[in-house]
Structure 1
Amino acid sequence: MGTLINDIGKASIWLVKAFKELNQELDYSVESVKLIDDLLDHEIKDGQPISGGLFTNQFGYKCFAIGSYIGEIVIRNSKAAKWQVDDTDKDGEINISIMSANNVVIWPVQRVIKRIQNGREDELFAYIYITVNDMRFEGDIPEGFFPKKIEQRKTWWNFFKY
């Protein structure tokens, strides 16, 4: 069993590959979320997967994958945003969140569930478009917002300089 951070990455990549099989390209742009909204319109009726459709099997995982992908869009298109996960939470897949340096927090998987329940009125594209703009951070990233990087080891040719 992996960590939620690893699962998020794997699920996001899985979704990109799944769309490629549908001859559609997800490229981690905000615009690519329109393809997901269109697919949900086609495959979900009255908050439920259509019989025999693409969401008939592994519905929960597919919601997690969509949430992981749209979360990755927010992180990649914002200067200072990061995943927040709790591997001990029994509902951790639903409760993954993203926090920005300016204290905006979103829960992407919960938003996907809301989209499925309410239909187009809660479209993902508008939500992600607004969120990316809200999470754009100007200025210096606060100290300690991102974990410190492991110091790089000295290269062998600099070893004797110290």
Structure 2
Amino acid sequence: MATLREDIKSQSDWIVKAFAADGFKLDYSIDSIIEVDRFFAVNMKNGVPKKGGRLYGKGFGPILFSIGSYVGETIIKNVKGADWVTDESDPNAEINVLLKLPNDGQIWPIQKVIKRFKNGSEDAIYPYVHLVTKEFTNLPFKEEFWAVTAGTDKSEQTKPWWKIW
């Protein structure tokens, strides 16, 4: 049986190939996280998976895990000293796995992807990843991200405006 770290690595590599089959280019760069948000924009409408899309049906959990694995592996490849912290005894280890940053910060990439799925573009992945990595990478924010979410239907957001505060 594979360890969680091995599963994360293999699922991250798998999602790169799966996304490529649909024309999304993942190359483990921070900027490629924009493609993750584009994937959600293409496959979601009004806060639910589009019929016939890659997230439609009941089997989307492993896809979300794979996407979260890619997000974490991308951070590890771009932030020296970042590493997964796993707990094989946790029955929810696939969801609770965290990534420790060199500044002692901790993030949960798989939980972030689940929030993106549930909440829509208000929980976009690229701005989050850019924010948590910018002190280590000094990369500028890619303005093309806004074009990815510009076409997102505003009704995709699941929280009414009065519940934001």
Bin the TM-score by the shorter chain: 0.7 to 0.9
CA distance in 1, matches of 2:20, 2:94: 24
CA distance in 2, matches of 1:132, 1:74: 7
Superposition pairs for residues 111-122 of structure 1, below 5 Å?
A: 111-122=112-123
Superposition pairs for residues 36-51 of structure 1, below 5 Å?
A: 36-51=36-51
| 1:73-131 CA distance string (max 9 Å, x none) | 11111111110111111111111110022111000010011111111111100001111
Deviation at 1:70, TM superposition (A): 0.5
- 2:45 equivalent to 1:73: no
Give the ranges of 4+ consecutive aligned residues of structure 1 lying more than 4 Å apart after TM superposition: none
- AA of the residue aligned to 1:107: W
Which residue does the alignment assign to 2:56?
56
Deviation at 1:2, TM superposition (A): 1.3
Task: Find the residue that maps to 1:25 and give its secondary structure.
Answer: coil
**TM-score, normalised on structure 2?**
0.77
Which residue does the alignment assign to 2:126?
125
- 2:32 equivalent to 1:32: yes
- Please say which of residues 70-79 and 19-28 is displaced more in the overlay: 19-28
Which residue does the alignment assign to 1:140?
none
Which residue does the alignment assign to 1:160?
none
CA distance in 2, matches of 1:62, 1:85: 19
CA distance in 2, matches of 1:47, 1:92: 26
Superposition pairs for residues 14-29 of structure 1, below 5 Å?
A: 14-29=14-29
Task: Find the residue that maps to 2:6 and give its secondary structure.
Answer: helix
Which residue does the alignment assign to 1:97?
98
Question: Over aligned residue pairs, what C-alpha RMSD do you find?
Answer: 1.5
Deviation at 1:7, TM superposition (A): 0.3
**TM-score, normalised on structure 1?**
0.78
User: Structure 1 unaligned runs (5+)?
Assistant: 138-162
Task: Find the residue that maps to 1:103 and give its secondary structure.
Answer: coil
Q: Percent identity at matched positions?
A: 40
Task: Find the residue that maps to 2:53 and give its secondary structure.
Answer: coil
Count of matched residue positions in the alignment of Structure 1 and Structure 2: 136
Deviation at 1:46, TM superposition (A): 4.1
| 1:16-55 CA distance string (max 9 Å, x none) | 0011111332100111111110110121234432222111
Task: Find the residue that maps to 2:131 and give its secondary structure.
Answer: helix
Kept after mapping to 2: 8 A contact 1:12/1:68: yes
Kept after mapping to 2: 8 A contact 1:46/1:117: no
Name which one, 1 or 2, has greater alpha-carbon Rg: 1
